[in-house]
Chain A
Amino acid sequence: EAAVTQSPRNKVAVTGGKVTLSCNQTNNHNNMYWYRQDTGHGLRLIHYSYGAGSTEKGDIPDGYKASRPSQENFSLILELATPSQTSVYFCASGGSGTGGDNYAEQFFGPGTRLTVL
């Protein structure tokens, strides 16, 4: 069973502060993703990675950085948090060739609820 964990699960931050969201996967998947979920927008891709040391910009990268120091770990960094970044953030691993018959399946973590005051 795929396992993706996220920490923290809930976070309250102040405007202008730095926030780091962490994601760990034990599936040995090359690809990892960060999404945010907002009502009316569905899931939107922020950053993704093809493997350790690589990060790529997704559809809404502004205000976010990402770091992939190892196969297992993928972090999302908000250097200067703003209230507009209040959201639920999901990390996922997989995509393309990783899910057996469902070869492109992505496996999602439990999510992090971030509130920026």
Chain B
Amino acid sequence: GEKVEQHESTLSVREGDSAVINCTYTDTASSYFPWYKQEAGKSLHFVIDIRSNVDRKQSQRLTVLLDKKAKRFSLHITATQPEDSAIYFCAASWDMGYKLTFGTGTSLLVDP
């Protein structure tokens, strides 16, 4: 089955800097890649996704890049703020979101 590896377990940046979280996947059939955010002590919520028919998607300060050849995708956060501090999970799906395989999470700390 699909395996998603999230390369950074922790990431610390200064407020205002950019942060990049990288993920790789194994199943070439995967075509949908969402990101979820979990703030301390809370549940997860969706932040952004990308489908395999594009290689870049931006939403405000968030950009997702997809490299299908390398089976790699990444979340870029610009102008980080303390409220960006959270655990970020990447995920992949071959059936357009019915069933997700999650990475292990990256704990992002934004120092004010």
Contact = CB atoms under 8 A, between A and B. Distances in A.
A109 B43 contact: yes
Given A108-B44, A109-B43, A110-B43, A48 B34 contact: no
Judged by DSSP, the binding face of A is: loop
B85 interface: no
A41 B4 CA distance: 11
Interface of B: 1, 6, 32, 34, 36, 42-46, 49, 89, 93, 95-105
Interface of A: 31, 35, 40-45, 48, 50, 58-59, 90, 92, 95-97, 99, 102-111
Contacts of A42: 6, 89, 102-105
Interchain residue pairs A-B with the least CB separation, the first 4: A104-B97, A42-B104, A43-B102, A96-B97
A111 B39 CA distance: 13
Contacts, number: 65
Nearest to A104: B97
Contact of B43 (A31, A90, A104): A90
Nearest to B9: A40
A65 B96 CA distance: 25
B108 to A, nearest CB: 15
Nearest to A6: B43
B51 to A, nearest CB: 9
Contact of A95 (B100, B101, B102): B100
Nearest to B43: A108
Given A43-B89, A96-B95, A106 B46 contact: yes
A93 to B, nearest CB: 12
Given A90-B43, A95-B97, A104-B34, A59 B1 contact: yes
